Amino acid sequence: PDGRLVEAMELPGHPFFVGVQYHPEFKSRPDKPQPIFRDFVAAALDHQNA
């Protein structure tokens, strides 16, 4: 309510560093993944292929 609670964070310049305080897995489905999971898999594949 006071705008001071950190819900999510990223580390700029890192291939994939994200921290969240919520549970995106509760709304993620195999046919409609939450963006954080989709992007994590994409970053892992990019790292593997680099």
List residues bridging with 28 in a β-sheet.
Answer: none
Q: Residue 28: name the closest of 43, 14, 41, 11 by CA.
A: 41
Half-sphere exposure of 44 (CA within 13 A, CB side): 6
pLDDT of residue 45: 94
One digit per residue, the tens of pLDDT, for the chain of length 50 reads: 677 888 888 898 888 888 888 888 888 898 999 998 898 889 899 999 98
Spatial distance between the Cα atoms of 31 and 42, rounded to a whole number of angstroms: 16
**pLDDT, position 14:** 85
Distance, CA of 17 to CA of 40 (rounded, Å): 9
> What is the predicted pLDDT for the residue at 48?
94
**Cβ–Cβ < 8 Å for 39, 16:** yes
